[in-house]
Amino acid sequence: MNRFGIVILTLCCVALATVAAAPPSKTGWFIDDDKMLQENTLGFAITETVQAGIATAQKQLAADGGFANNPALRIPLAASMEHAAESLRSSDGSALVDELIHSMNRAAEQAAPAAADLLLDALNDLQIADPRSIIEGADDQITQFFRTATRELIEQSFRQLIHDTMESAGVSRALQQIQDRVKELPDAQALSAELELHIAGKALDAWYHVIAEQEALLRKDVSARRTTMVMKVFGMLKKAGDAVSGQPAIGR
């Protein structure tokens, strides 16, 4: 081979090696390891991440004011009641509206322990087909997967949990007081069912929201990791943008 051919061959080899060594072209995370982690290891890391999120959410949402005192999680009135609320607020009925909103949030708060069990049961039944693509995703990719896979399956059971706490939380009483003042509202049974559905939907949103926050924390903060597989897998994570720019890896 002549000298020109040797130079061309050398350049090709360097180019191939550079491509092989380059990190995946992603905007999320990727696993920086020399050997492919086994799928069951990645699956366990996903499960442990969701378990940690559920535990954090239960502690936060079951606390006094866990919903009402957090603007991101606070359950508002259903849209169908806004007109009645405005009418009451303009006629010395603000306290009635406030009490209804607080009771709705209390109902979600009181349902939190049972809700945690419901979410854990759904997690235990979860099938994870492609764990690596879930790990190597956005900051909340695991939560997105969990939400998509479980929400429709547990919505009805979650609604029942809210149904069971509405009376003790004072929703029914607060609602009746408003209906005594605003006659154009639907009948009590229909309105109660509507609120039940509304509270359940917003409360379930809050659970997934907190789980997503915990996932993002585990991905970025080494000190937040407590379980074996999370420490092992997330310890190998790098942010794609940081790897490309030469910045230190966040997840190391």
Range 98-103 average pLDDT: 96
**For the chain, where are the alpha helices, taking DSSP H only?**
3-21, 39-61, 82-89, 94-110, 112-124, 131-135, 141-169, 171-181, 188-220, 228-234, 240-245
Average pLDDT over residues 30-55: 78
Handedness of CA 185, 190, 195, 198 (dihedral sign): negative
Q: What value does the mean pLDDT take over residues 164-185?
A: 89
Higher pLDDT, residue 178 or 110:
110
- pLDDT one-digit tens code per residue, 237-249: 676 555 433 333 3
**Residue 171: which residues within 8 A CB-CB, separation 6 or more?**
100, 103, 104, 106, 107, 192, 195, 199
220-227 mean pLDDT:
81
Alpha-carbon distances, residue 84 vs 9, 90, 94, 103 (angstroms): 78, 10, 11, 17
Q: What angle do CA 52, 56, 59 make, to 5 degrees?
A: 140
Position 185 confidence tier, pLDDT thresholds 50, 70, 90? confident
Does the pLDDT value for residue 24 go beyond 50?
A: no
d(CA 236, CA 32): 5
pLDDT at residue 30, as a whole number: 56
Lowest-confidence segment of 119-128, 182-191, 243-252 by average pLDDT: 243-252
Worst-scoring range by mean pLDDT, 5-9, 108-112, 119-123, 247-251?
247-251
CA distance 139 to 141: 6
CA–CA distance, 103 with 213 (Å, rounded to integer): 26
Q: Is residue 162 over pLDDT 50? A: yes
Distance CA 103, CA 100 (A): 5
Question: What average pLDDT does this structure show over 214-241?
Answer: 79
The whole-number average pLDDT for the span 42-52 is 92
Q: What's the confidence (pLDDT) of residue 94? A: 93
- Does 181 score more than 60 pLDDT? yes
Asked if 166 contacts 192 with a C-beta cutoff of 8 angstroms, the reply is yes
59-97: pLDDT as tens digits = 999 999 999 999 999 999 999 888 889 989 888 889 999
